[in-house]
Structure 1
């Protein structure tokens, strides 16, 4: 009885579930580590704004957003794969699951490369030739990797941080809130941002 149970063959479904658990464990580890990095990236953005270095502040926030989007994408994908592997008709979805696991492995490897540690994050503030080369490399890598929505959210966060920094530097700020922009004004701003990003990417490709 015991021998029969111990000699049970490992099915493709068993292997897929094990691979899913492994990927999920890795993702949870990365989530904890990236939280430390993204917190520091936000601090760096504020420090850059305090010295009127908007370009580096934006770079720090873009990198932060990219890391968060990678984690979110992988988390959603793993949840979907877990649902597929739990289905009785596993054989029917096996191909999709295996492909999804392969893609998940690639994204996890990308997240691992993104980690880099706090030392890499601090290079966003650096003035050395090595630090500038790193900043340029990050800018090129992020160009085209993020959606327009992600870019808009980064710009919104940058503006929020700018208001915070200005508030810290100027304590006697009027209590009355500024009027909220209209939907037309928001749409116009999104279009202007998209054009500015397109010009930036074109300049990178030309250089």
Structure 2
């Protein structure tokens, strides 16, 4: 009986390790394929900014951030499960590993759905009833799945895009006539990151109330 019990433990551990390898391989395949989608979402955000549609630009960047975070978190979780399975007596962590693999399977299904194809991403640019319904659905879905830190990262990326677009739009000025050297004006003080985060949090709360 002792040998039978040991054999069962080994086979269960081998199966868990194989399942983790399959999940990680699939995840890495998704990482390569979804980059096409996230690159297009970045382009769409720039297009929306040029069209003065900041809300759509923000939506495209939020969707991209969510997808990237989903992939990164799942990869990290699988790496932790793999280390746990290797370093600890498997019988002690078997339930945790099995539960983690079930979660991983669910997330992989969600990632597969997120990859849905570029035609879905293009709906962010459109004004049709279908497109507006999709944009609303994505906004509502992301509202419950992104942390404040992730939202702040998205807004930082959007602000960087706005600065980039503004610098490209600047018309070069004619050279000034020779004059006496003037002292450079001091730079305007940068906005306090903490204050900026508080303002964003207040705005999000107001948007949720309005919705």
Q: TM-score, normalised by structure 2?
A: 0.86
The ranges of structure 1 where at least 4 consecutive aligned residues each deviate by more than 3 angstroms after the TM superposition are 176-180
Does the CA-based 8 Å contact 1:143-1:201 persist in structure 2? no
Q: Give the alignment partner of residue 201 of structure 2, picking from 188, 194, 199.
A: 194
Distance 1:89 1:105 in 2: 24
Distance 1:178 1:61 in 2: 29
Number of the residue aligned with 2:77: 77
For the pair shown, the structure with the greater C-alpha radius of gyration is 2
Verify: 1:64 aligned to 2:59, yes or no.
no
SS of aligned partner of 1:111: helix
Q: Which runs of 5+ in 1 are unaligned?
A: 1-7
Distance 1:177 1:45 in 2: 32
Distance 1:129 1:135 in 2: 10
Number of the residue aligned with 2:182: none
How many equivalent pairs are there?
194
Kindly provide the CA deviation profile for residues 93-114 of structure 1, in whole angstroms up to 9, marking residues without a partner as x.
1111111101111111111111
Verify: 1:181 aligned to 2:190, yes or no.
yes
Paired residues for 1:26-175 under 5 Å:
26-87=26-87, 89-172=89-172
SS of aligned partner of 1:104: helix
Q: Which runs of 5+ in 2 are unaligned?
A: 1-6, 174-184
Kindly provide the CA deviation profile for residues 78-127 of structure 1, in whole angstroms up to 9, marking residues without a partner as x.
10011012135111111111111011111111111111111111111011
Deviation at 1:171, TM superposition (A): 4.2
Distance 2:79 2:21 in 1: 11
**Aligned alpha-carbon RMSD (Å):** 2.0
SS of aligned partner of 1:36: helix
Does the CA-based 8 Å contact 1:152-1:190 persist in structure 2? yes
Kindly provide the CA deviation profile for residues 145-176 of structure 1, in whole angstroms up to 9, marking residues without a partner as x.
10000000000000000011112222438xx9
